Structure 1
Amino acid sequence: MSSDDLENSPRSAADRFLLLLKTRGPQTAADLGTAAGVTGEAARQQLVRLAASGLVVAAAEPRGVGRPTQVWTLTAAGNARFPDAHAELTAHLIQTIRTQLGEDVLDRLIDARAAESKAAYAAALDGSADLGEKVARLAQARTREGYMAESQAEGRGYLLVENHCPICVAATACQGFCRAELDTFREVLGQDAAVERTEHIVQGDRRCAYRISLNTRSESEPRRRKSRDEKPS
C-alpha cells in the first residue's frame, strides 16, 4: 500500500494531518494544505489546533535566501497516536524474561517469532514475477501488521520504507527484534537480493528504510572461478 492509499482512507481532518506528517516527515503548512486539498491558511489553522494539543510543533528552517520557513513535525505525543502494540506491557514482559529466564530464552522467543514471520512472508511473496513485485508484496504484508510500509523504485533497485514501527518500544528494549527482521527480509527476498538498512527508527530516524537491489555477486563469482580454472598453469 502506498502513502497515497493511506492518506485517502476515511479519517478526521486532524488525523489526516497527523498521518501526512507521519508518512512524509516535516512539512510546511502550504505543503500539507496541497496534500490535504485545502488552502495553506486552513492547514495552518488546523496545525495551530494540533499544536495546542501538544501533537505537533513548528520550527524555523532556513531555505535559501530570505526568512526561514516554518516547518511542522510530530511531537512524541503525536507519534503516540499511532499503534504501539501495547508498548508498556511488551517492554515489561521483555525485561521479565531477560531477568527471570535469561537472554537465551529471549533469543529463542525472537527466533520463533522470526520463523513465523518468514513463513507468512514467504506465502505472501509466492509466485512473484520479479524482485520489484516481491518488495511490493512485502510492503503490503508489513502494512497489514501496522508498519505503514510502502515500496518504490530507486535507481536499479528498490526502497522499502516503514513509516511506523508498532513494536518500537520492544525493539528499543531488545535489538534482537531488529536483527531478526533484517535477516527475515534477506531470507524471504532470496539470495539474489542484497538488503541494507539505511534508516532506523530506533537510532533516531523518522522511519525505517531498506535499500534492496539485485545481488550481482552470485552472478560474477562463477565467472571469476571459471577464469581462474581456465588460466594456464
Structure 2
Amino acid sequence: MKNVGEARVTPTGTPQEELATGERSTRNRVARSILDHGPSTVADLAGRLGLTQAAVRRHLDALVADDVVEAREQRVYGARTRGRPAKVFALTDCGRDAFDQSYDKLAADALRFIQERFGGDEAVVAFARARIAEQATGYREAIEAAAPDQRTQALAKALSADGYAATARSAPVGEQLCQHHCPVAHVAEKFPQLCEAETEIFSQLLGTHVQRLATIAHGDGVCTTYIPKISPTADHPADPSTDHAPDIASASTAGRNPA
C-alpha cells in the first residue's frame, strides 16, 4: 500500500524537496477532505480547500494512481435531472487504511475466538452491544444537553469526536446521519453485528425508530442512517444501558445496503 500523497524527493534542503513536500501536504488535505465529507466532486473540494479546480484534478489524478481515491458516478436521490451525474471521488479501502490505525486483524481474530468459544453469534452480539453502550455514555450526555431539534446534530458532533467524521442533514420527513469514516469498517465487514448494535443504540439515544440505509462495511461510500422526525414529546432519550429499547425493525438489515 502506498502512503497518501507519496512523492519522490531529492536530498534535504533543495527546492525540489520543498516543492514535493508542499505537493504531498496538499494531496493529504485533499484526501482528508474526502474522508471528512464523504464522496466529493472536484468543485466541492476546490471550494472547501481554496484551490483551483485544475489543481484539485491534478492531485486527484495522483491519488487515483496511488489507489488512494477512486472516481464514482454520483448517486442521485429522487428524480434525475438532464445530463450525466457529476463524478465524485471517494476513498478506496487502501486510502482508508492510510488514516485508519485500528488493529483490524487482531480485533477480527478476537471476535472470531469469542464466536467459536463463547456462544456463537449471540456472544458476538453481546460484545457489540456492550462495546457501543460504553461508547454511548458521552453521546447520551451530548444529546440530553441539546434542544429536541438539535439532537441528531449533537450525536453527529459526538461521533466525530470519536473519529467517525459524522454530519447530519435534512431529509424528507426527517434527517440523515452520515458517518464518512468508520474506524472498524474492516472488522464490521466480517461481523455486521457491530453495525446492528450501533443502529440499535442510535434508536435508543434518539428515542425513535431509525433505519440504516448504507454502510462503509458493505462497500458504500458513507454509513447513512435515516432518522424520522422525532415527536415533540420525546424529551428524554432512552438510557442505552436499559433493556427496554424501542423495537428496531431495521436491525436485520443493519450493516447491509437494503437497495
TM-score bracket, normalised by the shorter chain, equals: 0.7 to 0.9
Count of aligned pairs between the two proteins: 202
- Quick one: distance in 1 between partners of 2:109 and 2:193? 16
Aligned partner letter, 2:39: G
Counterpart position of 2:146:
128
- Quick one: distance in 2 between partners of 1:204 and 1:54? 16
Q: Deviations over 1:59-109 (max 9, x none)?
A: 789x9669x976544332112222252212111111122123332433332
Structure having the higher helix fraction is 1
| Partner SS, residue 152 of structure 1 | strand
**2:69–2:92 Cα contact (<8 Å) kept:** yes
| Partner SS, residue 44 of structure 1 | helix
Tell me, which stretches of 5 or more residues in structure 1 are unaligned?
Answer: 1-10, 220-233
Q: 1:18 aligns with which of 15, 20, 31?
A: 31
1:42: Cα distance to partner?
1.6
Tell me, which stretches of 5 or more residues in structure 2 are unaligned?
Answer: 1-23, 75-80, 235-259
Counterpart position of 1:43:
56
1:152: Cα distance to partner?
1.8
Counterpart position of 2:119:
102
- Quick one: distance in 1 between partners of 2:146 and 2:213? 25
> Residues 16 and 182 of structure 1: is their aligned pair in 2 closer, same or farther, counting only changes over 3 Å?
same
Aligned partner letter, 1:136: Q
Tell me whether 1:93 sits opposite 2:125 in the alignment: no
| Partner SS, residue 145 of structure 2 | coil
Q: Which moved more, 1:108-117 or 1:171-180?
A: 108-117
Aligned partner letter, 2:229: L
- Quick one: distance in 2 between partners of 1:78 and 1:169? 13
**2:39–2:88 Cα contact (<8 Å) kept:** no
Aligned partner letter, 2:53: G
Query: Where in structure 2 are the equivalents of 1:103-182 lying within 5 Å?
Result: 103=120, 104-130=122-148, 132-182=149-199
1:56: Cα distance to partner?
2.6
- Quick one: distance in 2 between partners of 1:40 and 1:213? 37
Query: Where in structure 2 are the equivalents of 1:200-211 lying within 5 Å?
Result: 200-211=215-226
Look at both structures and tell me which one has the larger radius of gyration over its CA atoms.
1
Counterpart position of 1:27:
41
- Where do 4+ consecutive residues of structure 1 move more than 4 Å? 58-61, 63-66, 68-71
Q: Deviations over 1:165-211 (max 9, x none)?
A: 11112212212111111110111111xx3311122222221111111
- Quick one: distance in 2 between partners of 1:144 and 1:44? 30
> Residues 84 and 206 of structure 1: is their aligned pair in 2 closer, same or farther, counting only changes over 3 Å?
farther
RMSD (CA atoms): 2.9
- Quick one: distance in 2 between partners of 1:60 and 1:180? 31
Counterpart position of 2:68:
55
TM value normalised by structure 1: 0.74
> Residues 98 and 31 of structure 1: is their aligned pair in 2 closer, same or farther, counting only changes over 3 Å?
same
